[in-house]
Amino acid sequence: MSDLLLHVTGARPNFPKAAPVLAALDDRGFAQRLVHTGQHYDDNMSAVFFRELHLPSPDVNLGVGSGSHAEQTAAIMVALEKEMLAAQPSLVIVYGDVNSTLAAALVTSKLGIPIAHVEAGLRSGDWTMPEEVNRVVTDRLSDRLYATSADAVAHLGSEGVPVDRIRLVGNPMIDTLLKHRDAFDGSRVRAALGLGETYAVATLHRPANVDSPESLGALTAAMSQVADQIDLVLPVHPRGAANLERSGLLAHPRIHPVEPVGYTEFLGLVDRSAFVVTDSGGIQEETTVLGVPCLTLRPNTERPVTITDGTNQLVTPADLPARASAALAAGRPVTWPVPPLWDGHAGERIAGDIATFLA
């Protein structure tokens, strides 16, 4: 094996997590290779992140594109095996819980190469979520597990992961948020939509919310009642666009659908919003640090620390309009707790531990 570190990214949530780790390892002089699987390939879901976050251009883009979970995971595995056999890295670093993460962990473990998992230990307990399967399998195969919160460490311990493999390092995605916060600017979108100072942001893409006609019907009714109270900016994820259109949700005059926007523009919208309605994972963390009330349309979360030490709450479609009304009446909090070690230095801690591990 060489002294090379190989990073595998593939989807929008991976890039803000990888950026501070790549930078911190570069500061330590490590040789690195960045692989982009191409799981997300639209400019606003992928390339814009490399530009805005000053990520190095991928050394290779596998270009796997979309497909079923099996098709996508299999295509990534086949392409990654060739890449890893050629590169012979001393360590492969994977991020989050997308299909690219699982595929990389499976290939790497079969080749006998050590694996480090950034954002290890998150658990929702919901096995209907593909991400839960990806998280659990990746953690089981990893040699170094970098956890963002104490509850993630506890999950790993309860599953029998040896304690010497686990490190509580904080949240590298928050490193990226804090580093780029001065650049957040959603004014272009607000001006284009003719929005005033008071508006909310919504993101919807989970299969449980947008794939089932019954679930989407209840969600449409609830979101329409929220929009009766406040303008809603809705970046439309490609995954659920057709269903959202058919549901009639996008016809409400105060729901403003837009194409997915870049990192700094999206967080500029979030940072100025009255509250956020979402079924995303990462947005729960970003709103926690920004102090934006977050109404998460899910029965569970793999990030409970954003409820105990943040601004997040779980809601159902039935209680969403009332919760939105309460958030609007209460206004943005003046102070709020933030989870320990979400301080902008997680990437440095990860790089330091990788140096120790490889030594």
Q: What domains lie within the chain, and their CATH numbers? A: 5-171+342-358 (3.40.50.2000), 184-330 (3.40.50.2000)
Distance of CA 249 to the CA centre of its chain: 25
Contacts of 235 (CB under 8 A, 6+ apart): 201, 203, 257, 258, 259, 260, 261, 266
Cα separation, 235 vs 255, in Å, equals: 10
> 201 pairs with which residues across the strands?
233, 276
What is the predicted pLDDT for the residue at 1? 65
Q: Name the phi and psi angles at 6, rounded to 5.
A: -115, 120
Q: Which residues are catalytic?
A: 205
Residues of the chain with pLDDT under 70: 1, 39-46, 239
Q: According to the model, what pLDDT value does residue 46 have?
A: 60
Give the dihedral of Cα atoms 307, 310, 316, 317; nearest 10 deg. -170
Query: Contact 267/286 with Cβ under 8 angstroms?
Result: yes
Q: Report which of 212, 205, 123, 195 is spatially closest to residue 161, judged by C-alpha positions.
A: 123
Q: Is 105 helix (H, G, I), strand (E, B) or coil?
A: helix
- Rounded to the nearest 10 degrees, the angle between the axes of helix 99-110 and helix 69-87 is 40
Q: Dump pLDDT digits (tens) for 271-330.
A: 999 999 999 999 999 999 999 999 999 999 999 999 999 999 999 999 999 999 999 999
Coil, strand, or helix at residue 166?
strand
pLDDT at 49: 76
Under 8 Å between Cβ of 357 and 167 = no
Q: Measure the CA–CA gap between 53 and 19, rounded to whole angstroms.
A: 7
Q: What pLDDT score was predicted for residue 237?
A: 76
What would you report as the CA-atom Rg of the chain, rounded to the nearest whole angstrom?
20
